[in-house]
Chains A and B, each alone.
Chain A
Amino acid sequence: MGQILQAKGIHKSYTMGKQTLTVLRGVEMSLSAGDFAVIVGASGSGKSTLLHILGALDKPDKGTIEFEGQRLDQMSNSRLNQFRNQNVGFVFQFYHLLDELNVLENVLLPAMIAAGPVGWLKSKKNVQNKAISLLERMGLKDRLPHKPYELSGGERQRAAIARALINEPKILLADEPTGNLDSKTGHGILEVLSELNQQGQTILMVTHDDRIARQAGRVIKLSDGKIVS
């Protein structure tokens, strides 16, 4: 499989008061289509920062990111919005489902953002069917009209995964997706991710748990702002 994501010489630092905190110091990495890679490292090693930069949520101070040959740093804000919406699916540790929307609506959110008002009226039926199908796959068939706060942690994360997949992104970026779950539920989430990967979904996951990392096809170890293995 060919490379879809390549990071070269990524540097990132934050200014906190008078101090500058350097988080990434020249990270080089790539991701091929169909990979299930895991970024591991100690707390504060820059895992999440790297994931956010790779997903165009944040910009590096230095270095380049190429997605299918296109440099993210040369994209306009509107192109980056489109890139995130169409090519990247995010799964967060704390699910980040909107309490004002039910499960189905949460899953539909990226599709609604992509479609716009007129486009949405045209594509609503198809996308809704797709969302229902995804939720069925996630075992949430009966939870469609429920609000996020009515779901368990595992169910919320599965709903978040379904939301991440609705626009059929080329990469799924998961930031500690099991970090807020008990081990049994977390294991269930990992199984879901593994299944998705077996079906061809490229996944890049951040975790600080080595046991979880062992289940991935590739482990990227981050230490002191650099990839060490």
Chain B
Amino acid sequence: MIGLKLSWRYFLHRRISILAVISVALCVFIVVVVMSVMNGLVNEFKEKNHRFVGDCVVRASSLTGFPYAADFITQLEQQSFVYAVSDTVQGVGLMTRPGTPWNIGIDYVGIDPVKHSRATHFAETLGYHADSPERAFQPSYAPQLDGCILGVDLILYRRPDTGQYDSPDRPWPTQRTISSFPLNPKGGLARAGLDMVSTKTFHYSDHSHSGLVKPDGRTIYLPLEQARILSGMDAPVVRSSAIHIRFAEGISVSDGVRQVQQLWQTYVQSCKNKPYADMLDGVRVLTWQQDRREFIGPMEKEQLMLTFLFLMLGIVTVFIIFVVFYMIIGHKTRDLGLIKSLGMPASRVAAIFLGFAAIVGLIGTAIGMTAGCLFLWKINAMENWLYDHYGWRVWDRAIYAIDQIPNAIEWPVLVCVAAAAVAACLLGASVPSIQAARQSPVRTLQVSQI
């Protein structure tokens, strides 16, 4: 009881404890804000990638693709753990606008929009056909023509101030010509000696806004069979680039992928005597994280580095608390001598200062958390204000592909930060507290008399 009372009174009567509280509060504030925003960015980015590719991807490592996908897809569709499967063809090409010199290198993806929307969340990215993906390749202005779905940044203008796209009510008549080198199964040009380049013009029927920079900035979606012809995967054996799979409700990604891997191995064995069966050796069954590692990896690394930086910040906090308590206890040697002379055990003397540290930690954490949560709550409003008044954006929407700064507060993060802050205070105060507890009462009382 007296320990708690003294801890509280020391806290109230020492101005330096305000400095300790402020340093803890600042550290907590910074960690809460940056971790929340960074976690939000990373989680949002991961989620977008997950929605973009589905739960599992069976992917060819080469642009030549792999054969016999159709039979494997039929097998997959019969499995209870599989919800939907989508066959895709992918290639690279040059996109031009007929009648203009404009051109750009692009990735094209051939899909069945209905199946792909079931296996991934593709339909949700569509501007005009979110509820009717079956008509996504039918230009509203001429449904009989071959349509294409353009990555949103290839067709719409994005406002730098709001991050929103200027999107008219319906797609306007415009065409894009795609040229691509069709490849044979061995990676050579499929039509050597003939017309080596496949070229086809498509009509803008919709756009896709996935929130991912590369798909939105340089990907065009085409009808599956058209893409197959463009890429040369239509002959001499029909080939695919990837199979996207979404698992049934309740099936974990790891379990589902393991089952797909087993099925795939069996399937490869059953195809070993077929022509071009060696192309199946380069096919890998991947989780969505593995498939998108090239994109997710750097962000995770950034997050890891940030966590490391915060660890350094934590060490600085511990040191600040250590210095503050060393100074406080240095001023309190007389009290310590007296308290010990009155019979208080060393452990309870240490507990007084550890209690003091806990109070500093708890109050600093509470202030830092409150300020951090308020800041996060208003972070987008503040950023907009900065843009309106000074034209300054903290996060370039074009780079981060975000509409708003993620500001969701994750309670597990808050709990971890709070626990770490209080622990840092206790750690910083522990050495001076133990030193204080070990002091001889006679020495401290005599010193203060001198």
Specify whether A and B are partners.
yes
Residues of A within 8 A of B (CB): 48, 52, 55, 57-58, 77-78, 81-86, 90, 92-94, 96, 98-101, 105, 109-110, 112-117, 120-121
Residues of A within 8 Å of B440, CB to CB, are: 58
CB distance from B342 to the nearest CB of A (A): 5
B293 within 8 A of A: no
- Are B338 and A96 neighbours in the complex by a CB distance under 8 Å? yes
Residues of B within 8 Å of A117, CB to CB, are: 1, 4
CB distance from B244 to the nearest CB of A (A): 63
B9 within 8 A of A: yes
Contact with A along B7-41 (1 / 0, CB 8 A): 00110110000000000000000000000000000
- Name the one of B2, B346, B445 contacting A112, with C-beta atoms under 8 angstroms: B2
Are A81 and B344 also in contact (CB < 8 A) when A98-B338, A112-B2, A116-B1 are? yes
Are A90 and B9 also in contact (CB < 8 A) when A57-B441, A58-B440 are? no
- Are A57 and B442 neighbours in the complex by a CB distance under 8 Å? yes
- Are B342 and A99 neighbours in the complex by a CB distance under 8 Å? no
- Of A83, A105, A112, chain B has the most CB atoms within 10 Å of the CB of A112
Complex alpha-carbon distance, A81 and B437, angstroms:
13
- Are B1 and A110 neighbours in the complex by a CB distance under 8 Å? no
Complex alpha-carbon distance, A190 and B60, angstroms:
100
- Are B343 and A113 neighbours in the complex by a CB distance under 8 Å? yes
When C-beta atoms are compared, the residue in chain B nearest to A163 turns out to be B342
Complex alpha-carbon distance, A92 and B442, angstroms:
11
Are A92 and B445 also in contact (CB < 8 A) when A113-B344, A116-B1 are? yes
- Are A85 and B342 neighbours in the complex by a CB distance under 8 Å? yes
Residues of A within 8 Å of B391, CB to CB, are: none
Residues of B within 8 A of A (CB): 1-2, 4-6, 9-10, 12-13, 334-335, 337-346, 348, 440-442, 445-446, 448-449
11 examples of A-B residue contacts, CB within 8 angstroms: A58-B442, A81-B340, A84-B341, A93-B449, A94-B449, A98-B335, A109-B342, A110-B343, A113-B2, A113-B339, A113-B344
CB distance from B347 to the nearest CB of A (A): 10
- Name the one of B10, B338, B343 contacting A85, with C-beta atoms under 8 angstroms: B343
- Are B445 and A96 neighbours in the complex by a CB distance under 8 Å? yes
Are A77 and B345 also in contact (CB < 8 A) when A94-B449, A96-B334 are? yes
CB distance from A167 to the nearest CB of B (A): 9
Residues of A within 8 Å of B345, CB to CB, are: 77-78, 81
When C-beta atoms are compared, the residue in chain B nearest to A113 turns out to be B344
Residues of A within 8 Å of B13, CB to CB, are: 99-100
Residues of B within 8 Å of A92, CB to CB, are: 338, 445, 449
Complex alpha-carbon distance, A60 and B12, angstroms:
39
Residues of A within 8 Å of B337, CB to CB, are: 96
Residues of A within 8 Å of B441, CB to CB, are: 57
What are the 5 tightest A-B residue pairs by CB atom distance, in nearest-first order? A85-B343, A100-B9, A112-B2, A84-B343, A96-B338
Complex alpha-carbon distance, A110 and B343, angstroms:
7
CB distance from B225 to the nearest CB of A (A): 80
When C-beta atoms are compared, the residue in chain B nearest to A81 turns out to be B343
Complex alpha-carbon distance, A77 and B337, angstroms:
15
- Of A58, A96, A105, chain B has the most CB atoms within 10 Å of the CB of A96
CB distance from A156 to the nearest CB of B (A): 13
- Are B342 and A113 neighbours in the complex by a CB distance under 8 Å? yes
CB distance from B33 to the nearest CB of A (A): 35
Are A120 and B1 also in contact (CB < 8 A) when A96-B445, A100-B13 are? yes
CB distance from A191 to the nearest CB of B (A): 24
- Are B449 and A90 neighbours in the complex by a CB distance under 8 Å? no
Residues of B within 8 Å of A98, CB to CB, are: 6, 335, 338-339
- Are A86 and B343 neighbours in the complex by a CB distance under 8 Å? yes
When C-beta atoms are compared, the residue in chain B nearest to A116 turns out to be B1
Are A57 and B341 also in contact (CB < 8 A) when A48-B446, A93-B449 are? yes
